[in-house]
Amino acid sequence: MKSQIDYAATPVTELFGCNCFSNAVMREWLPKATFKELLSVQAGERELSLSVADIVADAMKAWAIEKGATHYTHWFHPLTGLTAEKHESFIAPTGDGRVLMEFSGKELIKGEPDASSFPSGGLRATFEARGYTAWDATSPAFLKQDPTGTTLCIPTAFFSYYGHALDKKVPLLRSMDCLDRQAMRILRALGNVSAKRVITTVGPEQEYFLVDKAYFDERPDLMLTGRTVFGSMPAKGQEMEDHYYGAINERVAAYMRDLNYELWKVGVAAKTQHNEVAPNQFELAPIFSTTNVAVDSNQLVMETIKKVAQRHGMEALLHEKPFAGVNGSGKHNNWSMATDDGVNLLEPGENPESNARFLLFITAIVEAVDRYALLLRSSAAIAGNDHRLGANEAPPAIISVFFGEQLCAILDEIVDGKEHSAKGGHTIELGVTSLPRLPIDISDRNRTSPFAFTGNKFEFRMVGSSQSIATPNTYLNTAVAQVLSEFADALERADDKIAAIRDVIRVSYSRHRRVVFNGNGYSDEWVKEAERRLLPNVKATVDALPVLVQKESVELFERHKVMTRAEAESRYLIYLEKYSKQINIEAGVMVDMAKRIVFPAVASFAGSLARDASALAAIGASSAAAEKRAKRLAELSGEIYDETDRLERALLDAQEVDDDLAQAKAYRERVVPLMARLRAGVDAAEKLVERKAWPLPTYEELLFKL
Ligand code: ADP
Ligand code: MG
């Protein structure tokens, strides 16, 4: 399919945000006073009043109906990691057989979707099934428009009758608040009087694979789990690096054009697109925004990537590891902090004050990453990511921070009191003799670090491609807020601020620089070095999740009012259960495919080779080759049979385990290894069975044809 979009007729500037009830649109549709009041609600300066909500709802409805909407939905982020919607039409009967289109402030502010089937981890007893959604006025409403119709979507938070957060949005918003509070204390202590708020900004780079729909439909594993549970690599993989940044093929280019078109309409600023390292792997990056908006946008990006692919006869795979043997997909979570008056706090500035501030903030982040490494690691713990972190073909799961030589040298100098020799490049005078100079260009690159400083932001690269970015950012914000609060305690007390900054940096960095590593994070030496530094290397989801309910984490979350103990515990149980369910499905698909698709094909092809061999022998020809191959395949079919049997039994055993942690462990320790063994047999057989007789689309087709 070709893209039909004509940007000469409809310029991007007109198209962008046409389906988004943005502040620009609200300014047009709302009375001035209402708009102003809404802005102060967005800024957290006051609560939304019902009278304002009524006016906004009315404008929103008129705007949406003008664009063809018949329904609205509160759009929320349950703990499944996906988004949820329950559509309500605007109609209200007039009593005489006609209807009006109505939408009140009350309906805008609060919904009661029930939604009792979503996981709540015990936060909702069944007798108390009520769940509510509340409008997040800081994330714009938008229209979902497709050939089936138009729906007004209102970003909301989802919570229980007793106020427990049932979603990923509420803790995220709370974490943004706590980071704001603590960062503002630092700014005030440093004498900043102009900033009113500190926000966190996020730009997530999204990786995905595309496969042709015809092949996808022939693979139950792709259809049901989003990844191939079998499949052997063809002679060529990604080793030539000819796909990365390569020219985008026309079918994919047409797809990307339509994808951008859809995203731009709803106000998602899709900016960058390119071919990724693995064949048929791609990436999309938007322009960064406030964290909660970035979280909402990223959910829309994932949904739209999938939807538009189908229109183009393809399927998009968001799974972290759809194919063995080539790279998996991640989501690089670019993260920074900025003031409401536009200062990026992670950008080294042009004067001594801003440089001191910069060093202080990045030191706080290093400390936070070191102290809460396990929590950050757990924020990327999902079944799919177990293939990307610490597994066979994957980099280690050690959290470390990359700074580049120059920044490290500067921080080391503060700790060790040694003169640092600026390694090339210019330096900026800090003007304060007690603080060092700062080089102008500190944007060294390192592609192997899980937490890399990239000049004016950090890039957290462990996040999985299918994940909501809400949780990683919630933990990150909270961890950094905690360290900032301690720094603020020290700074607020001090008379000589510059000396205090220096002290704070020295004490903190000397304790936590062990987490800084500039070398090759994918190397074996790093694994050993990290062990010497006592840095944790948690390879599996089941081992990464328990930190969530450990004392230190719960205290952290409670202190900053991000999550209560009950909320943390509920998430722990939900994530464990989600892990078990996913492995259960993947293993189940494997068993089914092995029994009904692979085994019959292998056995039958072995049989046909055996018949060939006897036919050859009958005419006195050499039959040794056919015989050998038949025997080998018969052996493999036996292996496949036995391994399937073993896997099936392990699966039944795991299903019987009651305790959530024990069950997840059973899947990880007993089921997953057997999946690998079954796969080895099947992949070996695939290499020996005649191409036409192999019953599944191959990696060659899935990875190299589009
Ligand atoms: P690179 O990874 O090479 O630095 P970009 O500069 O294009 O690539 O940035 C990648 C992502 O980082 C984009 O989504 C971009 O919007 C985002 N980004 C840039 N600056 C910031 C910032 N200050 N805060 C959060 N994200 C940012
Ligand atoms: Mg990047």
Specify the pLDDT at position 2: 65
Among candidate residues 329, 361, 391, the one where a domain is terminated? 329
Does 545 fall in a domain? yes
Pairing mode of beta strands 69-76, 149-160: parallel
Specify the pLDDT at position 446: 82
Specify the pLDDT at position 426: 39
What's the mean per-residue pLDDT of the chain? Answer: 92
Q: Which pair of tokens denotes residue 659?
A: 């305790």
Does 482 fall in a domain? no
User: What is the rounded CA–CA span in Å between residue 603 and residue 273?
Assistant: 45
* Position 424 pLDDT exceeds 50: no
Percent of the chain whose pLDDT exceeds 70: 95
227 and 139 assigned to the same domain = no
213 and 66 assigned to the same domain = no
User: What is the distance in A from the centroid of ligand 2 to the CA of 462?
Assistant: 12
Pocket of ligand 1 (CB under 6 A): 201-203, 205, 272, 285-288, 334-336, 344, 454, 456-457
Our mutation pick for probing the ligand 1 site, out of 276, 288, 332, 362, counting the most ligand atoms within 8 A of Cβ, is 288
Could you give the residue ranges of the DSSP H alpha helices within 69-196? 105-109, 169-189
Q: Which ligand is nearest to the CA of 288?
A: 1
**What domain range is 673 assigned to?**
577-704
Mean pLDDT of 659-677: 98
User: What is the distance in A from the centroid of ligand 2 to the CA of 562?
Assistant: 28
DSSP state of 345: T
Q: What is the pTM of this model?
A: 0.94
The tens digit of pLDDT for each residue in 175-186 reads: 999 999 999 999
Q: Which ligand is nearest to the CA of 276?
A: 2
Mean pLDDT of 245-273: 94
36 and 145 assigned to the same domain = yes
Does 391 fall in a domain? yes
User: What is the distance in A from the centroid of ligand 1 to the CA of 408?
Assistant: 22
**CA-closest candidate to residue 81, choices 580, 467, 475, 541:** 467
Residue 146: pLDDT band (50, 70, 90) is confident
Among candidate residues 270, 300, 329, the one where a domain is terminated? 329
698 and 596 assigned to the same domain = yes
User: What is the distance in A from the centroid of ligand 1 to the CA of 442?
Assistant: 15
Does 198 fall in a domain? no
223 and 280 assigned to the same domain = yes
Specify the pLDDT at position 122: 79
Specify the pLDDT at position 352: 74
Does 124 fall in a domain? yes
Q: Which of 337-346, 419-428, 432-441, 586-595 has the lowest mean pLDDT?
A: 419-428
* Position 103 pLDDT exceeds 70: yes
321 and 414 assigned to the same domain = no
Domain count, the chain: 4
Domain CATH number, residue 216: 3.30.590.10
Residue 437: pLDDT band (50, 70, 90) is low
Q: Give the best-scoring range by mean pLDDT among 8-12, 472-476, 493-497, 519-523.
A: 472-476
User: What is the rounded CA–CA span in Å between residue 377 and residue 398?
Assistant: 8
Does 190 fall in a domain? no
User: What is the distance in A from the centroid of ligand 1 to the CA of 459?
Assistant: 8
398 and 363 assigned to the same domain = yes
Among candidate residues 532, 559, 586, the one where a domain is terminated? 559
Mean pLDDT of 278-292: 96
Q: Whose CA is nearest to atom 3 of ligand 1?
A: 454
Which residues are 20's β-sheet partners? Answer: 142
Name the residue with higher pLDDT: 154 or 123.
154
CA diameter of the chain: 102
Residue 270, CA distances (Å) to 60, 210, 448, 456, 463 in order:
24, 18, 25, 20, 19
Measured in whole angstroms, the distance separating CA 629 from the mean position of its chain's CA atoms is 45
The tens digit of pLDDT for each residue in 465-486 reads: 999 999 999 999 999 999 999 9
**CA-closest candidate to residue 567, choices 272, 174, 266:** 174
Mean pLDDT of 87-107: 94
105 and 225 assigned to the same domain = no
Atom of ligand 1 nearest to the CA of 288: 16
Does 177 fall in a domain? no
Specify the pLDDT at position 239: 81
545 and 679 assigned to the same domain = no
Does 4 fall in a domain? no
346 and 405 assigned to the same domain = yes
Specify the pLDDT at position 123: 82
587 and 684 assigned to the same domain = yes
375 and 500 assigned to the same domain = yes
Q: Which pair of tokens denotes residue 553?
A: 């984490």
Domain CATH number, residue 593: 1.20.120.1560
Specify the pLDDT at position 430: 44
Specify the pLDDT at position 436: 58
